[in-house]
Structure formats: structure tokens, C-alpha cells
């Protein structure tokens, strides 16, 4: 059972958007999925309250980052949203259960600078469990721009993979307002966004290393 942690020490980079859409993807595929919220702002809980009952079920998991509990039996996929400034003991406890860490990162100098120490820590294999993996997802960026190239060079310098680039679009904002991920609307409405998710999903579905 893979546990995905979406984390970045900086706020406002789209962690909850990535977490809810990733959970929505697994649920859409028929997986028994749980979405946990380590963030005290409880963004995922708000999203649950908006989510229509007829959509594929995603179970809520209340997570205390000071002592992350075991997931219930039968769950096949877990996605954890996390707060800005996650560090120290709280970060260590969440990393203890995470199999894969997704770091959303905007291609601005300030965002890269804020994430440098965090990414360096994750690049250090001692920060993750033995089979853990970490990747960076460029957000609010056009993959064809020089900014995207600079972001990719920075991440490759840490020997971490780039999991793709997601554009800045109102689709995420509008769907989140109704508790709906990309996968639960007509594909023609979000075709470009679905395409941009493919590299991340291919990485997420790779067999776990034992």
C-alpha cells in the first residue's frame, strides 16, 4: 500500500490541490483511497465537505503529525496533505510512513530558495525509509519557458526527478470549490491538464521497491 506525502515548507504552492487530485485519481480507478490532512488548516476536510456524495468514495483520515497512526486494513492508497513549515519531529514522523514524497515547487527564485534545504534533506537517503522516493512537481509554470528549464536544472543538481509541470489554470480553483478533482468531469473540459498529470501518475504507479 503506497503512502504519498505532498510537502513543501512554503505555503501557497498548491499542496492541497495536488493531494486532492491525486486522491481523486486513485478513487476514480476504483482503489480504496484515504486522504489524510496533516495541515492544521484542514484544507482537505473543507474539500470533503464540498464533495458530492455520488462521486467515487474517498475516505477521510484524521492525522496527528506528532504520532501518525497505522492506516486501516483494506486501504490500497493513501495521500497525505501537509502544512507549510513542516519540520523537526513532525516531519520525521510523517516521513516515517511515507513511501513517496511529492514536492510542488514554483519556478521563482524565492520559492526555490525556500525549498533548497528541504529538498537537500529529502535528497539525503537517510531522511526517508529505505524504499522511499521523492520527486519535484513544477507548478504554475509553462514547461516551454526558461523558468521551467532553470527549475529542472536546479532539481537535477540535487539528483531528484522532475515529475512534470502543471500550468496555472482556473480549472483547479473552480473544481476545488465543488470538491471535484480533474478525473470526475468530462475529459474534454480538462484535456490539457489531464495530459500534464501523466508523468506524475506514471511515477506514482511504479512498483514499490522492496
Task: Kindly list the distances between the CA atom of residue 96 and the CA atoms of 49, 73, 152, 163, 205, in Å, as whole numbers in the listed order.
Answer: 29, 18, 27, 22, 20
How far is it, in rounded angstroms, from Cα 80 to Cα 97? 10
Cell output for 114:
525556500
Q: Which domains does the chain have, with CATH numbers?
A: 3-204 (3.40.50.300)
Cell output for 154:
536546479
pTM: 0.91
- Structure confidence by residue, pLDDT tens digits, 78-89: 999 988 877 777
- Burial label, 199 (beta-carbon count in 10 A; 0-12, 13-18, 19+): middle
- Structure confidence by residue, pLDDT tens digits, 64-117: 655 555 677 889 999 999 888 777 777 888 888 889 999 999 988 888 888 888
Amino acid at each position: 500500500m503506497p503512502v504519498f506525502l505532498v510537502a513543501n515548507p512554503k505555503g501557497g504552492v498548491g499542496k492541497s490541490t495536488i493531494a486532492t487530485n491525486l486522491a481523486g485519481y486513485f478513487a476514480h480507478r476504483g482503489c480504496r483511497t484515504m486522504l489524510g490532512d496533516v495541515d492544521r488548516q484542514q484544507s482537505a476536510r473543507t474539500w470533503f465537505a464540498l464533495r458530492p456524495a455520488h462521486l467515487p468514495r474517498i475516505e477521510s483520515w484524521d492525522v496527528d503529525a506528532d504520532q501518525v497512526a497505522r492506516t486501516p486494513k483494506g486501504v490500497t492508497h493513501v495521500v497525505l496533505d501537509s502544512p507549510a513549515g513542516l519540520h523537526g519531529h513532525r516531519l520525521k514522523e510523517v516521513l516515517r510512513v511515507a513511501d513517496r514524497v511529492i514536492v510542488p515547487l514554483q519556478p521563482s527564485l524565492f520559492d526555490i530558495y525556500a525549498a533548497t534545504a528541504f529538498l537537500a534533506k529529502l535528497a539525503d537517503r537517510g531522511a526517508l525509509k529505505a524504499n522511499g522516493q521523492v520527486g519535484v512537481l513544477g507548478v504554475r509554470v509553462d514547461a516551454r519557458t526558461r523558468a521551467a528549464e532553470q527549475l529542472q536544472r536546479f532539481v537535477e543538481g540535487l539528483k531528484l526527478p522532475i515529475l512534470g509541470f502543471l500550468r496555472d489554470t482556473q480549472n483547479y480553483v473552480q473544481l476545488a470549490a465543488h470538491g471535484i478533482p480533474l478525473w470526475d468531469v468530462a475529459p474534454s473540459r480538462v484535456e490539457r491538464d489531464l495530459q500534464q498529470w501523466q508523468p506524475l501518475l506514471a511515477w506514482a504507479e511504479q512498483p514499490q521497491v522492496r
